[in-house]
Amino acid sequence: MAEYMTETEQRAPGVPPAGTPGVPRGRAGDGAAGPPDGQEAAALLEGTRALVDPALRAAVESLPGTMRRAALHHFGWQHADGTAAAGNAGKAIRPALVLAAAAALGGPAARVAAVRAAAAVELVHNFTLLHDDVMDRDTSRRHRPTVWTVFGVPDAILAGDALQALALGLLAGDAHPAAVPALARLTACVVELCEGQHTDTGLERRAPEEVTLDEVLVMAEAKTGALLGCACAIGALYAGAGEEEVSAMDGFGRQAGLAFQLIDDVIGIWGDSRQTGKPVGADLAARKKSLPVVAALTSGTPAAAELAELYGKPYAAEDAEAAGEIARTAQAVERAGGRDWAQAEAADRMARAVQELARAVPAPEAAGGLLALAEFVTRRSG
Amino acid sequence: MAEYMTETEQRAPGVPPAGTPGVPRGRAGDGAAGPPDGQEAAALLEGTRALVDPALRAAVESLPGTMRRAALHHFGWQHADGTAAAGNAGKAIRPALVLAAAAALGGPAARVAAVRAAAAVELVHNFTLLHDDVMDRDTSRRHRPTVWTVFGVPDAILAGDALQALALGLLAGDAHPAAVPALARLTACVVELCEGQHTDTGLERRAPEEVTLDEVLVMAEAKTGALLGCACAIGALYAGAGEEEVSAMDGFGRQAGLAFQLIDDVIGIWGDSRQTGKPVGADLAARKKSLPVVAALTSGTPAAAELAELYGKPYAAEDAEAAGEIARTAQAVERAGGRDWAQAEAADRMARAVQELARAVPAPEAAGGLLALAEFVTRRSG
């Protein structure tokens, strides 16, 4: 594992070392101990919010009645009773990728031209969240009750449907020559997102021993990588990039998205609930077949057998020893190598992402923003 | 009522007389007793299927795995076990309106150019059906089990999401100059369809005496009229029509759509279950606040009070007198004037539709196909 990591670090500047999510890191080779890109990413995300939020909010405000209220609640702009809220619309990673990709290949003018497209991508992301929460019966998102728990399942489905239409309508109303190819990519991406969610719900219904690691990786690429890739590709289109650059940008986003999902799954087991917004061990209690869990289950270790036994029984929330069981399950995943594997795989995916980025944007100084965002999403506190 | 009908018949050739759905009619004034346009409409629908089905089927076949199977099942092209089925994808009214509107304003070339757009409109219609069936818990559609009963709620939601994306992707991949304005119209229409469905589910939750007829008419225009109007408007766009003609075409489709919904509601109460595909009296048993029922409830007649009492109690399916109760309920709607009102209102809407059509297509011979389709949908056997 250590040798593998050295290899990826050698070929990929910016790859996070395995085993240290949450530990501030410099780029490999520069010897810095601090997070030089954390501030750049934060500034990019803040700048994205400032540019994209008005378009996003105007689109949501154009919805009629209850769908508007459901969407405003989802984005954290309104409480369930209709009073104004401070807003907690997520980190805006996807629109930030659209704008950063446009800027990397087309400079500030392309970045401004891509604002509508960035809002469209964020609307698509949020439409899928609304529907996923219904399917998964998740009751909490971004520290707030999910839309279906407040407005009911029908209105959550309808609000999601309307957000998809709004997203694609934003692009249809954009006179930029990239709007139509962006639309074509975004609609294909929605189909892939749906397939990813389908695979995910199917995996959750199957016995733990029947699930392979490849299946979960394919699912994660469809469910998370596809939209991050699409965001980068759309940014490239708005910069007037050619097919090869657009495709490399898609690859960059996909691989960074997989790295992001791997780290997200690690955080879902060992993370701080104040930062994740989910109860400690919620993924394990739900017997979720996340990437580290499946890696552990398929490791052939004694800890894998122990984990399989724990996962074979439903979580006993009423049990006085429930917290102890979650801790034992997390330890079994770790002893079976699930945590180390996920971190090494995240590093490998980041290395591939960086390779794709170099193909899309040969000038390193132009690629800085995208790299900073990719490192930011794979370096969240664990 | 008779005077009113005479008035509409005088100003609107082709308006169906009130009180006779299911009775073959000629156009007003021509004295014919037979259905001269029934064959024209049937030929138009058949021609539409022949032109549009390949595009529709290719789009559905492009979906991955389970979503493809769910969609093929929904369109009647595949049984739940994956074996081929004869197909029962509905009457294709909406794509027929797209093609007929294109032909009316742009001749045969526009009709052929609009095939992709016609498939897109049909995909949007079917995406909403998939989701409506989930929300309404309807178990049967077109004489077959609904997708959510066969594939589960998550896959029905995902298949619907994917069909919306496919629909808009079809237009995004269409190089015709009308494709982008058609996309903008279709996405706005999806929002209106969602609002209509939201209003509908909301109305169903409210007490019968709280619902006004205006609310139900507004809901029906959003839920049914909007997409028929959009279909006609998109056809006009593909014929290169100007904004005024496009808007008049939209008005034609909307009014014809309302007439269609009124007749559909009449059929839902007094129709033949072999033709509707629903059990006799299903709408009444579900205490559905359809247009004739709300007209009856708000009529201020003694029968309205009787109906309100029947509707105030849930339907007792176990009761040996269940069938008798349905018959009594239908009679109360009729005695309170609900059936007559619905038929007169349908005639009025058809008259308005014909006025809009004359605005969009001044040459009567060019408007024949659209008129035949509008008459066909409002003349289904009751």
- The per-residue pLDDT string of chain A (382 residues; one tens digit each, 9 = 90 and over) reads 333 233 333 333 333 343 434 333 333 333 333 445 578 999 999 999 999 999 999 999 999 988 999 999 999 999 888 888 877 767 899 999 999 999 999 999 999 999 999 999 999 999 999 999 999 898 988 888 999 999 999 999 999 999 999 999 999 999 999 999 999 999 999 999 999 999 998 888 888 888 999 999 999 999 999 999 999 999 999 999 999 999 999 999 999 999 999 999 999 898 876 666 666 788 898 888 999 999 999 999 999 999 999 998 887 766 666 778 888 999 999 999 999 999 999 999 999 999 999 999 998 889 999 999 999 888 764 3
- Residue B139, both tokens: 């178990």
Can you tell me whether residue B141 is helix, strand or coil? strand
> Is beta strand A140-141 parallel, antiparallel or unpaired with respect to B140-141?
unpaired
Cα→Cα distances A211→A218, A266, A282, Å: 12, 18, 20
Q: Per mean pLDDT, which range of A138-142, B27-31, B270-274, B350-354 is the poorest?
A: B27-31
ipTM reported for the complex, 2 dp: 0.87
**Which residues of A lie closer than 8 Å to B, measured between beta carbons?**
63-67, 127-128, 131, 134-135, 153-155, 157-162, 164-166, 168-169, 172-173, 179-180, 183-184, 187-188, 190-192, 194-195, 197-198, 201-202
Q: Decide if B165 and A157 are in contact by the 8 Å CB cutoff.
A: no
**Average pLDDT, rounded, for chain A:** 87
Q: What is the pLDDT of residue B193?
A: 97
Question: CA-to-CA distance for B334 and B291, rounded, in angstroms?
Answer: 12
Q: Decide if B187 and A197 are in contact by the 8 Å CB cutoff.
A: no
For the segment B85-109, the average pLDDT, to the nearest whole number, is: 91
Question: CA-to-CA distance for B7 and B10, rounded, in angstroms?
Answer: 5
Q: Interhelix angle for B115-136 vs B226-238, to 10°?
A: 170
Q: What is the pLDDT of residue B7?
A: 32
Can you tell me whether residue B288 is helix, strand or coil? coil
When comparing pLDDT for B89 and B72, which is higher? Answer: B72
**Average pLDDT, rounded, for chain B:** 87
Q: What is the pLDDT of residue A278?
A: 66
* Number of neighbours of residue A352 by Cβ within 10 angstroms: 20
B133 pLDDT more than 80: yes
* Number of neighbours of residue A232 by Cβ within 10 angstroms: 36
Considering only the beta carbons, identify the residue of B128, B135, B195 that sits closest to A154.
B135
A288: left (phi over 0), alpha (psi -120 to 50) or beta: beta
Q: Which amino acid belongs to residue A46?
A: E
Q: Per mean pLDDT, which range of A5-14, A211-220, B52-61, B292-301 is the poorest?
A: A5-14
Q: Decide if B154 and A195 are in contact by the 8 Å CB cutoff.
A: no
For the segment B315-336, the average pLDDT, to the nearest whole number, is: 83
Question: CA-to-CA distance for A23 and A39, rounded, in angstroms?
Answer: 15
Q: Per mean pLDDT, which range of A13-22, B247-256, B329-338 is the poorest?
A: A13-22
Q: What is the pLDDT of residue A238?
A: 98
Cβ neighbours for B362, distance < 8 A, ≥ 6 positions apart: none
B96 pLDDT more than 90: yes
Q: Provide the β-strand partners of residue B145.
A: B140
Q: Decide if A198 and B164 are in contact by the 8 Å CB cutoff.
A: no
Question: CA-to-CA distance for B4 and B25, rounded, in angstroms?
Answer: 18
**Which residues of B lie closer than 8 Å to A, measured between beta carbons?**
63-67, 127-128, 131, 134-135, 153-155, 157-162, 164-166, 168-169, 172-173, 179-180, 183-184, 187-188, 190-192, 194-195, 197-198, 201-202
Q: What is the pLDDT of residue A30?
A: 38
Kindly indicate the confidence band of residue B380, based on its pLDDT and cuts at 50, 70 and 90: low
Q: What is the pLDDT of residue A15?
A: 35
Segments in B137-240 forming alpha helices (H): 147-151, 153-172, 179-205, 213-220, 226-238
When comparing pLDDT for B13 and B361, which is higher? Answer: B361
Question: CA-to-CA distance for A230 and A188, rounded, in angstroms?
Answer: 9
* Number of neighbours of residue B354 by Cβ within 10 angstroms: 24
B203, B229 Cβ separation under 8 angstroms: no
Q: What is the pLDDT of residue B277?
A: 62
Q: What is the pLDDT of residue A23?
A: 33
Comparing CA positions, the residue from A10, A7, A2 lying closest to residue A29 is A10
* Number of neighbours of residue A23 by Cβ within 10 angstroms: 13
When comparing pLDDT for B84 and B242, which is higher? Answer: B242
Q: Decide if A168 and B188 are in contact by the 8 Å CB cutoff.
A: no
Q: How far is B160 from chain A (nearest CA, A)?
A: 9
Owner of token pair 């036994």: A309
Rounded to the nearest 10°, the torsion over CA B293, B297, B298, B304 is: 130
A352, A18 Cβ separation under 8 angstroms: no
Q: What is the pLDDT of residue A277?
A: 62
